[in-house]
Structure 1
Amino acid sequence: MSTSDWEQQSPPAEVTVPRSYELILPPGWVRIPLREGTKEALERILFSHMEQVPEGIPRDDAMRFRLDTRRQLERQARAAKRNGGLDLYLPVLPRGGIFLMASFIVAELPIGQANVMSQQAVISELVNEGVPGGTAAEVDLAGAPALRRAYGSTLEEEKPSSAPEAEQQAALPTRRVDYVIPVPDDPGRWISINFSTPGDGDIDSEFTGVLVELFDAVVSTFKWRYE
């Protein structure tokens, strides 16, 4: 189980708002906090969770693989933090000798319509807007309405045309799923859970679909904590 805390604005004395959330993670997945403790979490992952390396990597190259992975995780964490991220989640142990290419980010998402629209109205409007090439639907999460969006992101959308050619070629189309969740009794404050995976290179394959189902199963365990 993973729990996370974040700073909250002071609500009225008679109102109790969540101070954190919980998720149950699959085996081999870890949480990297982005507000504080990021460096320590990366150290634990590097030296405690990554005893195994993918098949085909010589033993002598194991430490270099771990250090390269550390640099990649640091880049992901910095990018997620810049976008308001609270926590980054990703698999660090191989499944069947294969490292999964997938991750999701929990982030603050201030929609800023606390005095204009109810949370239900915001969700309904976002559902009605839809998603180009994808789907948007209202779902029940932690006993309250939330938004789920699913769509594919093409290589061109992943990398701007001004990016170096080698970087553009390294990018892969990804399958994305976003959940947008209102914070109870705290109008105008929301969090998002954003999943991304290139799957096996085919974002419409059965394997990619299994990864999406795994993510949906993780999100279904989402709970607010009030301690």
Structure 2
Amino acid sequence: MSTPDTEQQPPAVEVTAPRGYELILPPGWVRIPLREGTKEALEKLLFSHMGQVPEDIPRDDAMRFRLDMRRQLEKQARAARRNGGLDLYLPALPRGGIFLMASFIVAEMPIGQTHAVPPQAVIAQLADEDIPGGTATRVDVAGAPALRRDYRSTPDEGKLSSAPEAVQQTALPTRRVEYVLPVADDPGRWISINFSTPGDGDIDSEFTGVLVELFDAVVGTFRWSYE
């Protein structure tokens, strides 16, 4: 007795999650890895260039300026790593005699969603969260749905009044932009790309707006890497 022919199914296509990501940086910006090699990268890419200081810093204050900058950058890197940071991006050299006060961090997000929750549902929930003085916009990043949040951050005046004078001088209002996106082909995993800048001291100025546009352009080059 012959058996009926069975229709052959095409072999299953194995879906591979990305091993990393790529993006194009503006001239003068550098990447500081946060999981390993952080100290070496800071020394090679940033601290070795600290012979230059802003033109408005008196020569007698140059050493203090460099030490303060070094401490702040090391502190920023440690804080970013504790918060799931993968990479920290900073402008390494002054442009036109001006040091850009800006940075952005790529970090893993502890959203903790189950595999059954579609990314669109997570984004919708995040978009509904209240952002005082800010906006949330659904966008596409690397061909997938994502969320862009834009808001202002101001120092807590109560806490600031009791802080050391050096901290008070560096605690400025900042413009922040955050992109939240799912990791391709890896359900349940998410990353954020967080940008922060005090701009020129006025977070609503044209100069600050240009820095935000620069960051948006960088995110526009974001691609997943499978190598």
- Tell me if TM exceeds 0.5: yes
Query: Aligned residues: percent identity?
Result: 79
Deviation string, structure 1 residues 110-165 (Cα, Å, up to 9, x no partner): 311124421111112212335221110111110111110000111228x8468525
Specify the code of the residue in structure 2 equivalent to 1:97: G
Task: Provide the residue aligned with 1:5 in structure 2.
Answer: none
CA RMSD in angstroms comes to 2.4
Moved more, 178-187 or 108-117: 108-117
Aligned to 1:43: 43
Give the aligned residue type for 2:171.
A
CA–CA separation in structure 1 for the residues paired with 2:188 and 2:162: 35
Q: Could you state the TM-score of these two structures normalised by the residue count of structure 2?
A: 0.85
Distance 1:46 1:143, change over 3 A: closer
Structure 2: tracts of 5 or more residues without a match: 1-12
Partner of residue 128, structure 2: 128
Corresponding residue for residue 91 of structure 1 = 91
Q: TM-score, normalised by structure 1?
A: 0.85
Q: CA–CA distance in 2 between the matches of 1:209 and 1:177? A: 11
Counterpart amino acid of residue 186 in structure 2: D
Taking the aligned partners of 1:170 and 1:58, their CA distance within structure 2 comes to 17
Larger mean Cα displacement after TM superposition, 63-72 or 189-198: 63-72
Structure 1 stretches of 5 or more lacking a match?
Answer: 1-12
Task: Mark the structure with the bigger radius of gyration.
Answer: 2
Deviations 1:154-201 (A, max 9, x none): 1228x8468525334541111000000100111110000001111111
Aligned letter for 2:163?
P
Could you say if the C-alpha distance between residues 122 and 162 of structure 1 is closer, same or farther in structure 2, counting changes exceeding 3 Å?
farther
Question: 1: distance between equivalents of 2:162 and 2:224?
Answer: 40
- 2: distance between equivalents of 1:162 and 1:116? 47
Contact 2:85 2:105 in 1 (8 A): yes
